[in-house]
Structure 1
Amino acid sequence: MAATIVSVINQKGGTGKTTTTINLGSALQKLGKRVLLIDLDPQANLSYSLGITEPSCTLADVFTGQAKLQDCLQERNGLYVAPGSNELVDIEISLVTQPERERFLQHMLEEVVEYDYILIDCPPSLSLLTVNALAASDEVLIPLQMEVLTLQGLGQILNTVQQIKTALNPKLRVKGIVVVMYDKRRKLSSEIEEYLKENMDEYIFQQRIRLNVKLAEAPSFGQSVLDYDASSYGAKDYLGLAKEFVSLG
């Protein structure tokens, strides 16, 4: 059976996108799923956070045809990772003039068949690389902080998904919105969450990801929070999210 391909997107930086990709992936792996992470962000934060600092090849090499995706994969605690690099900025520029420029990633992922889930950490912008991710994906996952400005960004994300669905990928759907960096002590958090439930048709995951220092510490050790401290709130929250994620089909 083909892998379910999921783009994790938010056009704002620092919204828990990379953290969610890593730790949801790790939690799915702990549940017995075979998981591949794609670091499509030129900042390569996902790769760095898993201790991949000098890979022999990266996604940039795959885009240019200098390497096969399978040959670039790195294994970390049962997760497989396609490393990113800042050279993806140049790749994006060169893609602009290419035919089928929106489908490069889709064709690359057709090579890999042995995974249950492929999670794509997208750039924090609605760029051509992000369009490639959305064109290749079955589902979209949106990590969202409970801040006023994020609501404005959410509308733009949903509009982009709809445009891609219409123009390039009719099967694309929003899996749901994940509330991240949640602090129940802040009244604003509950107010924005209530607003989302009342005004959005998209599914909002019941499992919230609470603010947790272990989530911030784990990348320093090149690990997911589940491998760094399985007893932490962060690990428990992402394991709960993974169970809910799988139950939705």
Structure 2
Amino acid sequence: MKTKIVAVINQKGGTGKTTTTINLGSALSKLGYKVLLVDLDPQSNLSYSLAVSSPDQTLAEAFLGSQSFKDIIVEKDGLWVAPGSNELVDVEISLVSQPDREQFLKTMLSQVKGFDYVLIDCPPSLSVLTLNALTASQEVLIPLQMEVLTLQGLDQIMQTIAKVKKAFNPKLKIKGIVVVMFDVRRKLSQEVLAYLRENVKEKIFDSQIRLNVKLAEAPSFGKSVLDYDNASNGAKDYTALAAEFCQV
């Protein structure tokens, strides 16, 4: 299959982007797909969560040209990871003045072959790095919590995607919205989900990611939730999401 590059984006922090990138990637890997995770967030939570938090080379070196992209990739538990670092902050500053600054990641990803899926964990802001992710991707996956402010944030994300599509990447499309940190006991969660289904034309995945303590614990052990506790609700939910994700 042709490599599918998917940006996992939400312009608000703490919305489950990193958790979704790691665990969807892990679930896809266990379905037999070869998956590359790209940690584009300067906070590098994805790298830390998979215990690759002190790699010799990171995305920063690849952006700056001192290392090739394929040489920074490390393997962990059946996944491949392009690690992030705090130096991506400096990269972002340096990119601002560069011509074609939104094209760097796309060019780097063109160097690697053989992956079925590339999942990009984006920074929680509309930054030059996020712009690079959206320019390099064919699809966007949006993790959303079922909160009132979610609706405002979703509108901002849609506007951003529309602007990038118009200016840099006309083939970019929204893969879908995945409901995360879902509390089935809260009436508000059900109400926000019902509103979304009625008012948003984009696909909302049927597989919901429930609140689950194992999802919060797994990063402490440097593992995806599927490797940490494959009998947990978190593992079951991401396994179901991966199966659905492949069909869209």
Same fold (TM over 0.5): yes
- Give the deviation of 1:2 after TM superposition: 3.1
Whole-angstrom distance in 2 between the partners of 1:87 and 1:2: 31
- Give the deviation of 1:74 after TM superposition: 1.0
3-state SS of the aligned residue for 2:112?
Answer: coil
1:30 alignment partner in structure 2: 30
Return the TM-score normalized by structure 2: 0.99
Give the residue type in structure 2 aligned to 1:13. G
- Give the deviation of 1:9 after TM superposition: 0.3
Whole-angstrom distance in 2 between the partners of 1:105 and 1:211: 33
Whole-angstrom distance in 2 between the partners of 1:246 and 1:54: 32
1:167 alignment partner in structure 2: 167
| Partners of 2:44 and 2:53 within 8 A in 1 | no
Whole-angstrom distance in 1 between the partners of 2:2 and 2:58: 23
| Cα deviation 1:21-66 (Å, max 9, x = unaligned) | 0000000000000000000000000000000121010000000000
The answer as to 2:113 corresponding to 1:113 is yes
| Cα deviation 1:185-228 (Å, max 9, x = unaligned) | 00000100000011101000000000000000000000000000
Give the residue type in structure 2 aligned to 1:141. L
Give the residue type in structure 1 aligned to 2:145. Q
Whole-angstrom distance in 2 between the partners of 1:223 and 1:74: 15
3-state SS of the aligned residue for 1:152?
Answer: helix
Give the residue type in structure 2 aligned to 1:39. D
When the two chains are superposed, the root-mean-square deviation of aligned CA atoms in Å is 0.6
Instruction: Specify every segment of 5 or more residues in structure 1 that has no aligned partner in the other structure, as ranges.
Output: none
1:8 alignment partner in structure 2: 8
The answer as to 2:104 corresponding to 1:100 is no
| Partners of 1:2 and 1:113 within 8 A in 2 | no
1:71 alignment partner in structure 2: 71
Matches within 5 A, 1:156-195: 156-195=156-195
Whole-angstrom distance in 2 between the partners of 1:2 and 1:32: 15
Moved over 3 A (4+): none
| Partners of 2:134 and 2:172 within 8 A in 1 | yes
What is the percent sequence identity of the aligned residues?
68
Return the TM-score normalized by structure 1: 0.99
Give the residue type in structure 1 aligned to 2:239. L
Number of equivalenced pairs: 248
| Cα deviation 1:96-155 (Å, max 9, x = unaligned) | 110110000000000011100000000000111000000000000000000111110100
1:215 alignment partner in structure 2: 215
3-state SS of the aligned residue for 2:185?
Answer: coil
Instruction: Specify every segment of 5 or more residues in structure 2 that has no aligned partner in the other structure, as ranges.
Output: none
The answer as to 2:44 corresponding to 1:44 is yes
| Partners of 2:181 and 2:210 within 8 A in 1 | yes
